Amino acid sequence: MDREESQGPAAPEPSERAERLRQYLSDLAQRIDPPSLELLMRLLRELSVSPAVRGGTYELGMDPEERELFTPDLQAELLVLFGLLTSQDERVVVDLGDTPHAKGMKVLVPQDRACDPDFLDRHRRRVAAEAAEREADRREVEAIARASGMEP
């Protein structure tokens, strides 16, 4: 038996996507402070099991201190990381602007669609409609709670 056989199967080579994610995280760790990096990692884990993985939207849960850390720049970094984790193709962060439910909304889109105004407008309307639906659902649940004698 030669030496390679006695050591068992070789570890699989990291995929190109995994390597890009690893490199980006390494670079990011040099550019941002540890509390911000820790928040990004927690949010990325949370997002990785959320409906956002399948193209849906998801509201992140953060306490007031975390919300203060979650600057627009950190939001963009989270989107880049999420894209590296979930997408086979190159994605870029695009600012969709303000909507009634989101100020400075940013999304991750395929690189070839980032300058397509029709695509971005449809995306903006879809995201805004989903946010409006979540808000209406929240209000309805609170009304039911109040009618049931519970504190919403």
Q: Summarize pLDDT for 3-31 with one digit per residue, the tens.
A: 444 454 544 456 777 788 888 889 999 99
CB count in 10 Å sphere of residue 109? 19
Instruction: List, for residues 81-96, the tens digit of each pLDDT value.
Output: 888 877 777 778 888 7
What beta strand segments (E) does the chain contain?
91-99, 102-110
The runs of H, that is alpha helices, within 49-149 are 64-69, 72-86, 117-147
Q: In this model, does residue 65 exceed pLDDT 80?
A: yes
